[in-house]
Amino acid sequence: MNMSNFGKNLNIKRRDDKPSKSGTKARFIELVTLFDELDKRSIELSSFGVQLTDYEDAYFTLVENMMLDLYGDWKTELVMWFVYDRMDEDGNLLPLLVTDESEEEGNEEEVYIENAEQLWDFIKKIDKKPKK
DSSP the chain: ---TTTTTT-------SS--HHHHHHHHHHHHHHHHHHHHHHHHHHHTT---HHHHHHHHHHHHHHHHHHH-HHHHHHHHIIIIISB-TTSPBPPEEEE-TTSTT--EEEE---SHHHHHHHHHHHHHSPP-
Cα dihedral 26, 63, 99, 93 sign:
positive
Count of Cβ atoms closer than 10 Å to residue 69 Cβ = 8
Which pLDDT belongs to residue 115? Answer: 97
Residues 6+ apart with CB under 8 A from 95: 110, 111, 112
Which pLDDT belongs to residue 12? Answer: 66
Cα dihedral 70, 73, 74, 76 sign:
positive
Mean pLDDT by 10 residues, the chain (132 residues): 66 58 82 94 86 86 93 95 94 91 74 97 89 64
Give the predicted TM-score (pTM) of the model.
0.75
Cα 64 to chain centroid, rounded: 8
Count of domains for the chain: 1
Q: Is residue 70 included in any domain, yes or no?
A: yes
Q: Is residue 88 included in any domain, yes or no?
A: yes
Q: Is residue 11 included in any domain, yes or no?
A: no
Which pLDDT belongs to residue 15? Answer: 58
Which pLDDT belongs to residue 46? Answer: 83
Q: Is residue 8 included in any domain, yes or no?
A: no
Which pLDDT belongs to residue 130? Answer: 72
Q: Is residue 69 included in any domain, yes or no?
A: yes
Q: Is residue 4 included in any domain, yes or no?
A: no
Q: Is residue 93 included in any domain, yes or no?
A: yes
Q: Is residue 6 included in any domain, yes or no?
A: no
* Domain ranges, residue 79: 21-128
